[in-house]
Amino acid sequence: MSARLLRFFGGGRTVPPPASAPVARERLQILLAHERSSRGQPDLLVLLRDEILAVVSRHVTLDPDKVIVKMDRGETVSTLEVDIELPNGFERMIAAAG
Amino acid sequence: MIMGATAEPVRQQVRLRGRSYVAFVFCPVVPIVGWLEEIDATLARSPGFFVGKPVVLDLSAVELSQSAIAHLVTSLEGRNIRVLGIEGVEPAHVTASMPPLLTGGRHCVIQQDKPEKPAAKPKPTSLLLDSPVRSGQSIIFADGDVTVLGSVSSGAEIVAGGSIHIYGTLRGRAMAGVNGNPAARIYCQKIEAELLAIDGYYQTAEQIDASVRNGPAQAWLEGDVMKITPLN
Amino acid sequence: MAKVLVVTSGKGGVGKTTSTAALGAALAQRGEKVVVVDFDVGLRNLDLVMGAERRVVFDLINVVQGVAKLSQALIRDKRLENLWLLPASQTRDKDALTDEGVGTIIEELRTKFDWILCDSPAGIERGATLAMRYADEAVIITNPEVSSVRDSDRIIGMLDSKTVKAEKGEQVKKHVLITRYDTARAARGEMLTIEDILEILATPLLGIIPESQDVLRASNVGSPVTLNNAGSAPARAYTDAARRLMGETITMLVPVERKGLMNRLLGRRAA
């Protein structure tokens, strides 16, 4: 009887959430590594975007608004994603020019 | 987003066009000194009337030497009247540094828009604020009483020539009677003031007696001593 | 009709960025299309609290300067598709953020979103004044503590004078959101009471957010607390606040100490 009473009062502990501090530490390490290395330099991403666009524009007319640049900075590898919306028939345009 | 070649700057051609304007014409008469005094009297009545208005000097009624003309233009400039052009003189009398010689002016009627005398508004003798006075705000009204429908926050101040009436809690600074009015008073529904002053005599928060806090109170001057008493 | 809402306080460290993220996520969870904009100049925080710090490409000042289009700078949240972020700039040039530039961006954001939440920096300098300049509504974050209350009062005064709405003779709709409400200290009478705060600020109450470890945990993992732990006390309080912003009438709950059953029986207080 008393054992059941104790269980009623003291049992059913909730599972504590996984510690969040290690996640925070890892995020900060990655972020600060990137920020420290890029401090004081002209914005690399802007340069990259403009140069990539210049290259593509040599072959086809582009709408600057149809270009989206995305970035994901990782611990060992970062991904740069450049999304360019090309007008239909661009292959013909390039073939005609070439 | 800059791409592609830079364009050649387009060369603008200089275009000369004609336009006519209506100008005020001053016709000085001798003696010039007397005429300038008349100008001064006009300016005293309506200061700045000629500022920004194109003014032409018609010197046909007088015989002025070159230096006299230069002196006259300078005298007018000293009165903030800028001469746009001169007419009625021999070209020889006008130098390059003077306003240009004008000819072919046509007579016309100038619409005198008299600067409107604003209907003499009766000067307000009391200021009403219908919202609380926030920290950092400063209300200064030298001409009379100030009434606040709301509280006066810590970090705010009210400065009045007359009395100050606060229908709320006074937590900031209140300075009444600032223009030498020792009869001014400060009234509030709750006194937690940082500073009170009447006609220069002031009390800070620590000097305010605990017995008057937390209820309606008034502050007033008896001689050179500020009294703060409950209002009940 | 799009609503521009500034989250401001005057005082630093009271919970503006946390609240912007939490309210933004709560509104998005209810189907609204929301963008949160970081108005700090030189210090970027909102992206960190939202968990988007690794994906920032272009920022508010890049858009003001025409280096990037708005669509190129906006970052979509990976968890809620209606929630977007416009990050702050890390530049040291305070003058780069201009009134006209911000005005143009706000106008463009109005055409794309239901809610534009502007996360104001602390203080009363350019970032803070520009964050509030185009606001229709304001949430003034206040801690139950004297200097926070006085700074909030100052900010309320500025909302009534330095905004486009105030200059047109209209009112910015203001709400006070009390954050970091410590239930234990309240129980011991060691904290400014809610009534005191409201009496001093004379502004309607939007909600009371209890001090809680859940807020810290959420920011550690980069997720707004209303997303990370929706059942927690602060999350529920933020959700109620968001619903009040949307016009719902919800009874205001004052957070109370939650004593464990055992401790309550023994008359002991929770730590």
The pLDDT profile of chain C, 271 residues, written as one tens digit per residue, is 899 999 999 999 999 999 999 999 999 999 999 999 999 988 889 999 999 999 998 999 999 998 889 999 999 999 999 999 999 988 778 788 999 999 999 999 999 999 999 999 999 999 999 999 999 999 999 999 999 999 999 999 999 999 999 999 999 999 999 999 998 888 888 889 999 999 999 999 999 999 999 999 999 999 999 999 999 999 999 999 999 999 999 999 898 876 555 545 554 443 3
Scan residues 28-67 of C and list those with Cβ closer than 8 Å to B.
66
* Mean pLDDT, chain B, integer: 83
Q: Which residue of A has its CA nearest to C76?
A: A70
E strands of chain B, at which residues? 24-26, 55-58, 83-87, 126-129, 138-141, 145-148, 157-160, 164-170, 173-176, 186-191, 195-198, 201-204, 217-222, 225-230
Q: Strands C173-181, C205-210: parallel, antiparallel or unpaired by DSSP? A: parallel
Judged by CB atoms closer than 8 Å, whether chains meet at C220 and A71 is answered as no
3-state secondary structure of C267: coil
Scan residues 88-107 of C and list those with Cβ closer than 8 Å to B.
none
Interface test with C, best of A13, A25, A27, A78 (most C CBs within 10 A): A27
Judged by CB atoms closer than 8 Å, whether chains meet at A21 and C220 is answered as yes
Judged by CB atoms closer than 8 Å, whether chains meet at B4 and A64 is answered as no
Report the C-alpha gap between C181 and C208 in whole angstroms: 7
Judged by CB atoms closer than 8 Å, whether chains meet at A57 and B1 is answered as no
pLDDT at B232 over 90: no
Query: What pLDDT was estimated at residue C98?
Result: 93
Query: What pLDDT was estimated at residue B115?
Result: 59
Q: Which residue has the higher pLDDT, B118 or B51?
A: B51
Report the C-alpha gap between B121 and B131 in whole angstroms: 25
Chain B contact present for C154, CB below 8 A:
yes
Query: What pLDDT was estimated at residue C114?
Result: 98
Query: What pLDDT was estimated at residue C211?
Result: 93
Selection from A17-31, B33-47, B185-199 with the highest mean pLDDT: B185-199
Judged by CB atoms closer than 8 Å, whether chains meet at C55 and A31 is answered as no
Q: Label residue B103 by pLDDT band (50, 70, 90).
A: confident
Chain B contact present for C157, CB below 8 A:
yes
Query: What pLDDT was estimated at residue A40?
Result: 62
**pTM of the complete model:** 0.70
C-beta of residue B172 within 8 angstroms of C-beta of residue B157 = yes
Chain A contact present for B96, CB below 8 A:
no
Contacts of A68 in chain C (CB under 8 A): 71-72
pLDDT at A5 over 70: no
Our separate counts of H helices and E strands in chain C read 14, 8
Query: What pLDDT was estimated at residue B12?
Result: 57
Judged by CB atoms closer than 8 Å, whether chains meet at A53 and B3 is answered as yes
Chain A contact present for B5, CB below 8 A:
no
Scan residues 75-94 of A and list those with Cβ closer than 8 Å to C.
none
Determine how many CB atoms are found less than 10 A away from the CB of residue C71: 14
Chain B contact present for C150, CB below 8 A:
yes
Judged by CB atoms closer than 8 Å, whether chains meet at A45 and C57 is answered as yes
Interface confidence (ipTM) of the complex: 0.77
Chain C contact present for A62, CB below 8 A:
no
Scan residues 112-171 of B and list those with Cβ closer than 8 Å to C.
131-132, 134-137, 150-151, 153-156, 169, 171
**C-alpha distance from C238 to closest chain B C-alpha (Å):** 27
Selection from A39-53, A82-96, B44-58, C5-19 with the highest mean pLDDT: C5-19
List all residues 6 or more positions away from C129 whose beta carbon is below 8 Å from its beta carbon. Answer: C158, C162
The token pair that represents C95 in the structure block: 């003058």
Query: What pLDDT was estimated at residue B9?
Result: 55
pLDDT at A11 over 60: no
Interface test with C, best of B134, B151, B152 (most C CBs within 10 A): B134
Note if the bond before B31 is cis, omega within 30 degrees. yes
Query: What pLDDT was estimated at residue B4?
Result: 43
* Closest by Cβ to B155, choosing from C154, C160, C199: C154
Q: Which residue of B has its CA nearest to A58?
A: B4
Contacts of B4 in chain A (CB under 8 A): 57
Chain C contact present for A73, CB below 8 A:
yes
pLDDT at A12 over 60: no
Neighboring chains of B (3 or more beta-carbon pairs < 8 A): A, C
Chain B contact present for A68, CB below 8 A:
no
pLDDT at A13 over 60: no
Q: Which residue of C has its CA nearest to B171?
A: C200
Query: What pLDDT was estimated at residue C134?
Result: 98
C-alpha torsion sign, points C116, C121, C124, C126: negative
**C-alpha distance from A39 to closest chain B C-alpha (Å):** 23
Report the C-alpha gap between C142 and C154 in whole angstroms: 12
DSSP state, residue B5: P
Chain B contact present for A38, CB below 8 A:
no
